[in-house]
Amino acid sequence: KQEVTQIPAALSVPEGENLVLNCSFTDSAIYNLQWFRQDPGKGLTSLLLIQSSQREQTSGRLNASLDKSSGRSTLYIAASQPGDSATYLCAVRPQGGSEKLVFGKGTKLTVNP
């Protein structure tokens, strides 16, 4: 059974710092991996989607990498800002014909001014 783990559960950094959020998954047989952002009391917003054949995706200050063989993904945030404060979740789409994502429990990021 696929499991997704995000460590740490919470992270606090000063503004301007570059940071890395980690996501690991137990089964490398995936179609893709997505990173989401969730603000308090809101739904999830998809940030980046990496297909299994890809190594990374970039959007602005965000860069997500995927190492499928080792079951790991990282989300790199450059020059962090207080507005980046949110919970970041990753999710994988396992292979096997199911329309189901498996989510990690997220990392709560606080960027201090």
Partner 1 sequence: IAGITQAPTSQILAAGRRMTLRCTQDMRHNAMYWYRQDLGLGLRLIHYSNTAGTTGKGEVPDGYSVSRANTDDFPLTLASAVPSQTSVYFCASSAGLHKGEKLFFGSGTQLSVL
Binding site for partner 1 (CB under 8 A): 31-32, 34, 36, 41-46, 49, 89, 91, 93, 99-101, 103-106
Contact, 22 vs 6, CB < 8 A?
Answer: yes
Question: Could you check whether the bond before residue 8 is cis, i.e. omega within 30 degrees of 0?
Answer: yes
Quote the least distance from Cβ 41 to partner 1, whole Å: 8
Quote the least distance from Cβ 7 to partner 1, whole Å: 14
Quick one: 46 or 81, whose CB is closer to partner 1?
A: 46
Q: Residue 3: helix, strand or coil by DSSP?
A: coil
Quick one: 48 or 111, whose CB is closer to partner 1?
A: 48
Quote the least distance from Cβ 8 to partner 1, whole Å: 15
Query: 48: Cβ–Cβ under 8 A, 6 or more apart, which residues?
Result: 34, 35, 57, 58, 59, 62, 64, 75
